[in-house]
Amino acid sequence: MSRPARYLTTEEVAERYRTSPSTIRYWRHTGYLRAGTQFGRRTLYDPADLEEFDQERRAEEAAERGASPRPAV
């Protein structure tokens, strides 16, 4: 299994989803977003996990609309 080139910080994940770092921490706390990896006191996120999270959200949205999910680009 290859290691990602770079893990993302909570702040970078917040930028990716156009929300605040506190929202990302809340999502992690509630289980909506997978827990990141602890490096000392920091929580870092694997970009591959975020891609999988995105795909799951797209599939859920498509199921709610009754359509097939859009293919990942």
Top-confidence residue, 73 or 31? 31
Mean pLDDT for 17-38 is 94
pLDDT tier for residue 68 given thresholds of 50, 70 and 90: low
* pLDDT surpasses 70 at 4: no
Count Cβ atoms within 10 A of the Cβ of residue 18 and give its class: 0-12 exposed, 13-18 middle, 19 or more buried: exposed
User: Where in the chain are the domains?
Assistant: 10-65
Check: pTM over 0.85? Answer yes or no.
Answer: no
3-state secondary structure of 63: helix
